[in-house]
């Protein structure tokens, strides 16, 4: 092996030692918890799905069957998971987080996010961008393309809010014939957006904006999902559901008991995502947009701790 290659190996190993110390992997328990890095990762994957078959979970994390079995046994003893036999195949076992398990994961997830926020907060804005870009480069080079998400989800930046209004106005006019009154409505919603109490996410595909969603305060108990949009070129990537799940996770972390949204029945793709993520139709009534009849709908769901391309919805 050449001295040049050896130098690269040494540099990567040095980075590994440095970064594992930064994120606390060397501690006995991750994030001041009694659980190891692997155990926390198992909780994370279970939190992303309503339930998982143990073989699927094992393959997802590339874990030894015996090792995963011991982790799940511990979780069951701690009351964090529930197990059942698959109705389709009794030989298979399904696992999901219990209520207490979801609460434990939510606390760990918030601690992890807080740690990263503190890490970024110690850096100037320009250096934050360099750090995140460098990490994306590492993932892009080392992660197999077949397993790589084809998009990036990030917080809004200057210029994004104008894009949100523009694309809602242009896209809805093109696809549904809605006019400038709808664009003005979106502009008012964007104008009321307050980063101190609300949150938003912008999706990018190949460095270009491809979608958005916002979670805003309705009242002390209720959050509202607003302005879900996915560009036609990005539909079919699972982006709409991912944006909705970001919104739900945020609302849970903020302690909201309920989340609701307003949409229209013609937005079939969005409605499917809402149904798949636990929303139920609460009410509907006849309306009109740019002289066209529409059916206005309100969907909602509770946010008690539990076990998670679309067209836009405002």
pLDDT at 198 over 80: yes
Q: Are 265 and 305 in contact (CB under 8 A)?
A: no
The predicted model gives 221-228 an average pLDDT of: 96
Report DSSP state, residue 300: E
Among candidates 70, 50, 25, 51, which has minimal Cα distance to 248? 50
Helices (H) and strands (E) in the chain, counts: 10, 10
Q: How confident is the model at residue 62 (pLDDT cuts 50, 70, 90)?
A: confident
Q: Which residues, in sequence order, are CB contacts of 48 under 8 Å at separation 6+?
A: 245, 308
Residue 24 reports pLDDT greater than 90: no
Nearest to 199 by CA among 163, 150, 249: 249
Give the relative orientation of helices 37-48 and 99-121 as an angle to the nearest 10 degrees.
110
> Distances in Å between the alpha carbon of 7 and those of 11, 16, 185?
6, 14, 58
Q: Taking Cα atoms as reference points, which of 234, 114, 212 lies closest to residue 159?
A: 212
Q: What pLDDT does 45 receive?
A: 87
Domain with CATH 3.40.630.30 in the chain: 152-302
Question: Quick one: average pLDDT of 49-59?
Answer: 82
Mean pLDDT of 12-34: 81
Among the CATH numbers 1.10.10.10, 3.40.50.280, 3.30.300.130, 1.20.200.10, which is that of 3-147? 1.10.10.10
Burial bucket for residue 268 (CB in 10 Å: 0-12, 13-18, 19+): exposed
Most confident range (mean pLDDT) of 8-22, 143-157, 300-314 is 8-22
> Is the Cβ–Cβ distance between 314 and 299 less than 8 Å?
no
Which range among 18-27, 64-73, 241-250, 270-279 shows the weakest confidence by mean pLDDT?
18-27
pLDDT of 147 > 80? The answer is no
Among 27, 37, 47, residue whose Cα is nearest residue 104? 47
Percent of the chain with pLDDT over 70: 92
- In the structure, what pLDDT confidence band is assigned to residue 129 with cuts at 50, 70 and 90? confident
Task: For the domain made up of 152-302, give the CATH fold.
Answer: Aminopeptidase (3.40.630)
Give the tokens for residue 136: 């994306």
Whether the pLDDT of residue 179 is over 70: the answer is yes
Q: 3-state class of 286 per DSSP?
A: strand
Q: Which residues contact 261 (CB under 8 A, 6 or more apart)?
A: 224, 225, 226, 228, 274, 279, 298, 299, 300, 313
Instruction: Spell out the alpha helix ranges (H) of 159-238.
Output: 160-176, 180-192
pLDDT, the chain, mean: 87
222-230/258-264 β-pairing: parallel
**Chain position carrying tokens 């998670």:** 308
pLDDT higher than 50, residue 282: yes
Outline which parts of the chain fall under CATH 1.10.10.10: 3-147
Nearest of 233, 47, 239 to residue 154 by alpha carbon: 239
Q: So what's the pLDDT on residue 306?
A: 42
Give me the helix-helix angle, 99-121 and 239-253, nearest 10°: 90
């Amino acid at each position: 092996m050449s001295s040049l290659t050896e130098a690269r190996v040494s540099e990567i190993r040095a980075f590994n030692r440095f970064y594992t110390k930064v994120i606390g992997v060397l501690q006995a328990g991750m994030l001041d918890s009694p659980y190891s890095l692997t155990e926390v990762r198992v909780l994370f994957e279970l939190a992303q799905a309503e339930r998982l078959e143990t073989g699927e979970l094992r393959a997802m994390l590339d874990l030894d069957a015996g090792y995963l079995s011991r982790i799940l046994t511990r979780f069951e003893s701690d009351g964090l998971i529930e197990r059942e036999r698959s109705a389709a195949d009794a030989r298979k076992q399904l696992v999901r987080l219990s209520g207490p398990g979801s609460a434990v994961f939510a606390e760990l997830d918030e601690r992890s996010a807080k740690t990263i926020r503190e890490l970024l907060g110690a850096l100037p804005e320009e250096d934050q961008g360099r750090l995140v870009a460098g990490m994306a480069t590492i993932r892009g080079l080392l992660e197999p393309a077949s397993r790589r998400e084809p998009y990036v989800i990030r917080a809004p930046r200057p210029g994004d809010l104008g894009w949100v209004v523009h694309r809602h106005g242009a896209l809805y006019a093109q696809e549904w014939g809605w006019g400038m009154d709808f664009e003005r409505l979106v502009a008012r919603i964007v104008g009321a957006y307050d980063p101190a109490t609300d949150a938003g996410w912008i999706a990018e595909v190949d460095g270009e904006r491809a979608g958005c969603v916002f979670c805003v305060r309705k009242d002390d108990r209720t959050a509202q999902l607003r302005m879900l949009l996915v560009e036609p070129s990005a539909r079919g990537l699972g982006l709409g559901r991912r944006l909705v799940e970001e919104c739900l996770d945020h609302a849970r972390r903020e302690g909201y008991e309920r989340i609701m949204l307003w949409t229209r029945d013609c937005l079939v793709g969005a409605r499917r995502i809402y149904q798949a993520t636990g929303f139920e139709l609460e009410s509907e009534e006849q309306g009109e947009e740019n002289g066209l009849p529409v059916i206005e709908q309100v969907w909602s769901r509770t946010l008690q701790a539990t076990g998670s391309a679309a067209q836009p919805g405002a």
